[in-house]
Structures are given as structure tokens and as C-alpha cells.
Amino acid sequence: MESRRSYIKVKYAGTDITGDISAYLKSFTYTDNLDKGDTISLSLLGDKWIKEWVILKGDKLEVEIGVINWKKEGDNRILKCGVFSIDDIAFSGVPDTIKISAISIDISKDIKGVKKDKIWHNISLKRIAQDIANDASMELFYDCKDISIYSQVEQVKESDLQLLSRICKENGASLKISLEKIIIFQEDEYENKEPLIHLDKSDLINYELQCEDIDRYDGCEVTFYDPALGELLEGKFEAPESELYGIKTGKIMYENIDTSVTGTTKEEKESFLVGKAKNMLRDKNKNETKIKVSDMGDPSYLAGNTVKVTGFGIYDDIYLITSVTHTIDPGYKCNFEIRKKVNF
């Protein structure tokens, strides 16, 4: 039987170079994130990478992590990390080492770096995302309830990525960008999915649990002056009591929306504002309880997956993976961050 092992497979500009670099590979990391681009980093020994084989910014790398007989015999799995655009190259010594960093956002496209001015009328988040995906020749994966129609959305000196990130937060959605795909999903829906992973404190290499109590808000109030109705509209949402606090913080978020809201009547518009207040409060409070974890590497550790956490007493609950770094150097391990699901 083949012994347990992990490996990476690398394609450079569409050509498999795994055999060419395996003898020189010092380390590899892949960081899978919510709300921002994924990254990879390759460290290779030697100076052939700036002499015989010149690697250039903007070139594409496609990487997979594989495991064989990992947790038991026959446990063979592959994690397709995706396609990445090289955005940074550093060379150092002694010994000669090149570090190649790449990001899942194509640096040749203008989705991230180009500031734009644009106005959309009578449009949904999904339609905005689809327009941006079409302009960037990207695919859209959209898994949200999309009942809100904006009568107007303004993009003022914002990149497409900044605009999408802002609108997603207002709608309680998470945004993830890969080289060829825009991914948007409803955070609360994913938090309530059946957990795929069980972590018990006794099984972890190490951990760090953090409670950011000073950042918890008890409620949110959103206001909007409606020119059609000629009055100031309000939407309020109060968070349910937290089991981790002996007292309420007394802190209330106040936000004013200067773009239009969905609805025709006052009741419809204020209901829309209540939903906005809830989403904003969720976004503000969602990092209240976080755990940083180091564990044996596992391809199933992916940003957006849910985890059942036990062994932490009152902090036992369902958590959402927000970031995970897979490292091979040469052993395979994972460092990741999870946050407790929001209780509203």
C-alpha cells in the first residue's frame, strides 16, 4: 500500500510543470478567503527562474492540492485551488530563492483597479453583478434571495469590485472572486447549512479564541429622506439578547441611506429599511466570536463551509470558515479562521 502523502500539481500558462519544479519546491501556500480574492505563493530554490526560465507578472498558474491515503486507506482527494494571475515576484539569497505570488483576480482586467462613474436604474443586485461579470468576461454564481429592486444605484469613483462589495454588505451577502467567476451567496443561508466538518478542541494542534465584545451593537437604525413622500423614513432592528453577555452594550448603529429604496408605499419602504438595518447589524456583529485554528491539512477546509465546534463550553456552536491557508512545506497543514454564526 502507498503511504500517506500530499502533493501539489502546477500548470504554468496551461502546461503541466509539476515535474520541472518538484525538486526545487521549498514551500507552497494557498489562502481561500471570503469577501476578497484568493492567493497562492510558491517558493522555489535556485536562480534558473530568472535566467533559463523567466517567469513574468500576469502569467497564469493553475494549482491542485492532492492527498493519498490521507486519513485512512483509500482517502484520496483533490482540492482544485483554481487559476491565478501572477502579481508579485521576489528573488532572494543565500540560498537563491524565488517567491512567486499570485491572486485569483485577473490583473489584466479592470474589475479591481479601475475607478468608474456609473448610474443604474430599476435594478437588482443580481443584475448589477451580471453586468459586471459580462464586462469582465467572467461567470456569475449567484445564490441569494433577490427581492430588492433599487430604483437607482450610483457608482462614484469606485471600482466594480468596490461597488459589488458595498452592495453585497447592504444585502447580507458574501462576495468571492476567482479568476473566472464572481460568487455571491447569502451568508445567513450558508450559516444554517448542515455542517460538513466536526472540530473538537482536544483534536486541534493549537487554537486561539477571541471575543470582540467592544464591537457588538444592540441595534441599528437606518434613515432615508424620501423625496417622493416628502418625509424622513426609518427602519430599526434590535439584535436578540446574546448568551455571551451579562448585559447589553447599549450601542446603536445609525446609518443614513442616500440612494433610493425599494417599494412604493411608506410601509413597503420602511420594511425595506428594516431589512437593511438587520443586514448592517449582522455585518457589524458577525465577528463577535472567532477562533483561529491550526490543524492537519484537509482539502475539505474551504471558506464558506460550516463547522460544528465542540469542547469550548458556552462557545460550542456552528461556525463559518472565513479564511483558510493550506500550506505544504513539505508537510501539509491548515491554518484557518472561523466565526460563530449570527443568531438573527
Are residues 11 and 4 in contact, defined by beta-carbon separation less than 8 angstroms?
no
Candidate CATH numbers 2.30.29, 3.30.70, 1.10.3470, 2.40.30; the one for domain 5-103: 2.40.30
Phi, psi at 333, each rounded to 5° = -140, 165
| pLDDT over 90 at 37, yes or no | no
pLDDT band at 157 (very low <50, low <70, confident <90, very high): confident
More confident residue, 155 or 274: 274
pLDDT for the residue numbered 67: 92
Number of C-beta neighbours around residue 188 at 10 A? 16
Distance CA 272, CA 246 (A): 32
Amino acid (1-letter code) at residue 42 = L
Whether the pLDDT of residue 2 is over 80: the answer is: no
Which residues lie closer than 8 Å to 75 by C-beta, 6 or more apart? 67, 68, 69
Q: Is the pLDDT assigned to residue 209 strictly greater than 70?
A: yes
Give the mean pLDDT of 192-220.
84
pTM reported for the whole predicted model = 0.85
- Top-level CATH class of 116-188? alpha beta
Residue 108 burial (C-beta neighbours within 10 Å; 0-12, 13-18, 19+): exposed
Residue 124: its pLDDT value, please? Answer: 83
Interval 55-98: pLDDT, tens: 888 888 999 999 999 988 888 999 999 889 898 899 888 888 99
Q: How does pLDDT run across 276-332, given as a tens digit for each residue?
A: 888 888 888 888 889 999 999 999 999 888 999 999 998 999 999 999 999 998 889
pLDDT at 108 over 80: no
Q: How confident is the model at residue 106, as a pLDDT? A: 66
Q: What is the pLDDT of residue 323?
A: 92
pLDDT band for position 110 (50/70/90)?
Answer: low
Answer whether residue 30 shows pLDDT above 90.
yes
In the chain, % of residues over pLDDT 70: 93
